[in-house]
Amino acid sequence: MSWAERLAAKPLPALGETHSRLSRLLGREDTSNWPLEVVIRRDPALTLLILGDVNRQARRFGRDDVTTYDSAIGLLGRERLKTLVRAAPASCFSLLDPLPKEGLRLTLARALEAAQQAESWALARREPVAEQHYHAAILAYTPELALWHEAPELAARAHQATIQQGIGMHEALGMVLQEDWNRIRLGLVKHWGLPSLLGEAWSEAETPSTPARGIRLACDLMDEGVRGWHTVRIKALRPAIAEYLGLDEAAAWLRCQRTAVLGATGLHALGLRPSAHTLVASDETPWPLDAPLAPPEPARPGPVDILRGALAGVQGSNALLQQLLKHLRGELGLNRMVLLMLDGEKSRLEARFAVGIPADDPLRSLILSLNSSDLFSALLKKHQPLWMNASNRPAFIPRLPAEARGVLATTDMFITPLQINHEAVGLLLAQRSMDAEPLSADDFRLFNALKSVAHEALNPAP
């Protein structure tokens, strides 16, 4: 059995603290996606569990990778998420233990710091989905973490070799395991459903895509940073990082240092040893942790900020909804939308307002009778959006109201409940025309973000 098969045979245990916290949050009916994301982001194993499961499903249907935590949670659904977390093992290793394995602790620190750097760089480059870079970088360390759990004595030997022989961890792992470490990692991309972006970053290609190059540089920086931030190898990385960020070397290096210092507080709170501690001991560029930081570069407003500005001062729910539909069309190309509104008795949904739908289209005249077990009733109660697509349509179509099954049987669309003054009023169905680009996970995340902004405006705090 190869090492890739051996490591893939057992699930990677989650940290005890994060596993128990996520379980508690999932036990509460009123928990939104955001607190779940915060916990999952702190744990490479939980990130692997959630994104790996979703992407294995997506690839079976030939779909693009899901690239954000929020999209993964939405596509899985709470019940599937609860099932996964209940079945996932929790590690006996705790960040709160006074004397955990130093090498394992250091690997976790490298994973979290690389993810922070990668996301910071993606924001600086104004990449469409910076979070994609975060989870790709944190998942880059899951093979190494798996080895610490599967064969801790071999992982410890590799860790000692990095100290005694001054070699990198990947070289040490290949030497100890007597197998090319990169080949092992690439073997796990398929087994675990790791992001395609990560597989590209690990490939031997000399000219990877720009995002993959960013992941590779962030991990290289953190792997070398544990020896100190002013080694010969680190200095060799600095021009490449500057070129990637499109900044001069001094400005690029300042950003790297700032990100490391800001992240150090969180890592110290977790009991981890951040590489940023080496900044205070540098004889080249002293950088005390309490040094004033340069102000961040002003960011251009994104789609969410633009919608928030457009809604400011708008009065009336109809005007607010019109602004939402306008931005969904402009930002996402959703040129077929219909509002299904509840009747006075809340027993039926009726199409009241449509955009881009011909008068003879059945969607425009849809009238649906609701019952407690159908999908639309569940969405109205849980206030959760849904992306209906080829991978989940077979499961959802039987749960639609009978009148909607024929109309929606072959259509990809986003569906989200609407509330006005904290009361459910109906559903928004949004899709693109058949000749347009298919909907993607990134589209779903932006759709949710825009809808959340409109939700705040439609439901002001009492």
- The pLDDT score that the predictor gives to residue 286 is 36
**CATH number where 375 lies:** 3.30.450.40
- The pLDDT score that the predictor gives to residue 108 is 83
Q: What is the pLDDT of residues 394-431, one digit of tens each?
A: 888 888 888 888 777 777 889 999 999 888 899 999 98
Q: Mean pLDDT in the chain?
A: 80
- The pLDDT score that the predictor gives to residue 262 is 62
Same domain (yes/no): 408, 439: yes
Lowest mean pLDDT among 102-116, 148-162, 177-191, 309-323: 102-116
Same domain (yes/no): 275, 307: no
Residue 338, φ and ψ in degrees, nearest 5: -145, 140
Same domain (yes/no): 84, 170: yes
Same domain (yes/no): 72, 31: yes
Same domain (yes/no): 374, 239: no
- The pLDDT score that the predictor gives to residue 352 is 87
Look at residue 22 and tell me if it is in a domain.
yes
Work out the average pLDDT over 14-31. 84
Q: What is the pLDDT of residues 430-450, one digit of tens each?
A: 988 877 788 887 788 888 888
Statement: residue 143 has pLDDT above 90 = yes
Residue numbers of the domain that contains 328: 303-458
Q: Comparing 416 with 303, which gets the higher pLDDT?
A: 416
Helix (H) or strand (E) holding 418: strand 413-420
- The pLDDT score that the predictor gives to residue 263 is 61
Look at residue 293 and tell me if it is in a domain.
no
Residues 138, 112: contact at Cβ < 8 Å? yes
Q: How far apart are CA 107 and CA 148, in angstroms?
A: 9
- The pLDDT score that the predictor gives to residue 37 is 85
Look at residue 407 and tell me if it is in a domain.
yes
Q: How far apart are CA 296 and CA 414, in angstroms?
A: 35
Work out the average pLDDT over 13-31. 84
Q: Comparing 7 with 293, which gets the higher pLDDT?
A: 7
Statement: residue 137 has pLDDT above 70 = yes
Look at residue 156 and tell me if it is in a domain.
yes
**CATH number where 47 lies:** 1.10.3210.10
Angle (nearest 5°) at CA 157 between 101 and 224: 80
Same domain (yes/no): 269, 313: no
- The pLDDT score that the predictor gives to residue 301 is 61
Same domain (yes/no): 387, 239: no
Q: How far apart are CA 389 and CA 414, in angstroms?
A: 9
Same domain (yes/no): 74, 108: yes
Lowest mean pLDDT among 51-55, 136-140, 155-159, 286-290: 286-290
User: Looking at the 3D structure of the chain, how many domains does it have?
Assistant: 2
- The pLDDT score that the predictor gives to residue 101 is 63
224: alpha, beta or left? (left if phi > 0; alpha if psi -120 to 50): alpha
Q: Please name which of 307, 300, 302 lies closest in space to residue 450, comparing C-alpha atoms.
A: 307
- The pLDDT score that the predictor gives to residue 436 is 78
Same domain (yes/no): 191, 257: yes
Q: What is the pLDDT of residues 322-380, one digit of tens each?
A: 889 988 988 888 988 999 999 988 889 999 888 888 888 888 888 888 888 888 888 88
Q: What is the pLDDT of residues 35-56, one digit of tens each?
A: 888 888 888 999 998 888 888 8
Edge to edge, the sheet with strand 423-431 lists 367-369, 348-355, 336-342, 423-431, 413-420, 386-388
Look at residue 207 and tell me if it is in a domain.
yes
pTM, rounded to two decimals: 0.60
Look at residue 217 and tell me if it is in a domain.
yes
- The pLDDT score that the predictor gives to residue 57 is 79
Lowest mean pLDDT among 240-244, 273-277, 322-326, 400-404: 273-277
